[in-house]
Structure 1
């Protein structure tokens, strides 16, 4: 894996920190309450349906029907969603800048609700460095469905083997590898830099 690679980034928790616990620590008194709420009410599986394109209006209504006693906390997932965004992961953004400066083609595939992504995109100018971003909510597809990776490849005329995909989820990494992409499980900017250097993508 040397020069000529296309680098494909995940965005959440690779380039931009995201953690709903940060919001719910402001709402609930204890870490146990936060964990229970996010494990039973606004769960990762529930959130994934927004990433698949379900409207937040419908999502909030569905969860409120199940747990009416938590109506205000559920509504906060939408109204106060910006508070779940922790800001740029500066070490990875620096790598992105270096890759762009040397002419590496940059792409992204993200599991993100379409409207929330548009809000977020306006806050982080480095997201404009990508030649294309596949947003799950727009496509009604979520990683690790093979179709979402193939969509990026087909839309941009890319060979799977010419792409290195970077994601913090092992399942999503495996999904990319299943369609023939090379992949790196993101754990830290430092580890990513080491991988890119060893692969000859960064000096």
Structure 2
């Protein structure tokens, strides 16, 4: 339960808070492209920690795509198959498969956040990648809405700050950069570990869980 009497700042996660996501979709689509079992692609993904490196800025867009091509190289084609070898995948093919994690964006969530700008300072904190952010902003502008960087006072992307949730350092970074007092700040995230870490710093952390959506958690603000 939020202490609204002291609340001045709202920090939002992006995936499954603002925009619904399907974490299994990229693996499923890369497996289909590479003509491989999903479990094999998932194991390769985890073994090489491509996502972790990309989302903390250790590799850029081009390096991410190169890693994907190399990881699935010589696995994406069989003799007589029409499957295109991974080293021939265009950037757009990889980006499209990677962006299948993003589902339809409910416009009412954006409108509610915009309504809150008059009463609170709004921030975004997301473990994410540049390809995903460009796609989300493209969807937003296509809906006639402002991009994330205009929707919020400040955005904090893991790949830019070189930190990721649930590390306490990333929350301390947001508090410091925003000049925020933890007890005056609410944080909304769908991940229990992220919520626990934020709460450990005194932030009012709200675990967004289905069947409720962020709209439900904001109804009393």
TM-score where L is the length of structure 2: 0.72
RMSD: 3.2
Mapping of residues 22-171 of structure 1, within 5 Å? 22-23=25-26, 24-25=28-29, 28=32, 33-34=37-38, 36-43=39-46, 45-53=49-57, 54-68=59-73, 69-70=75-76, 72=86, 76-78=93-95, 80-100=97-117, 102-124=118-140, 125-126=145-146, 127=148, 128-171=150-193
d(CA) in 1 for partners of 2:185 and 2:4? 11
Segments of 5+ residues of structure 2 without an aligned counterpart are 77-84
CA gap of 1:189–1:94, structure 2 versus 1, over 3 A, is farther
- The aligned counterpart of 2:21 is 18
Q: Write out per-residue CA displacement over residues 126-145 of structure 1, whole angstroms, 9 at most, x where no aligned residue.
A: 52221101011111111111
Q: How many residues are paired up?
A: 195
Segments of 5+ residues of structure 1 without an aligned counterpart are none
Q: Write out per-residue CA displacement over residues 24-63 of structure 1, whole angstroms, 9 at most, x where no aligned residue.
A: 358639xx933x1452133494312211012243334445
- The aligned counterpart of 2:196 is 174
Q: Write out per-residue CA displacement over residues 177-201 of structure 1, whole angstroms, 9 at most, x where no aligned residue.
A: 122211111114735444444xxx4
TM-score where L is the length of structure 1: 0.77
The structure with the largest helix share of the pair is 1
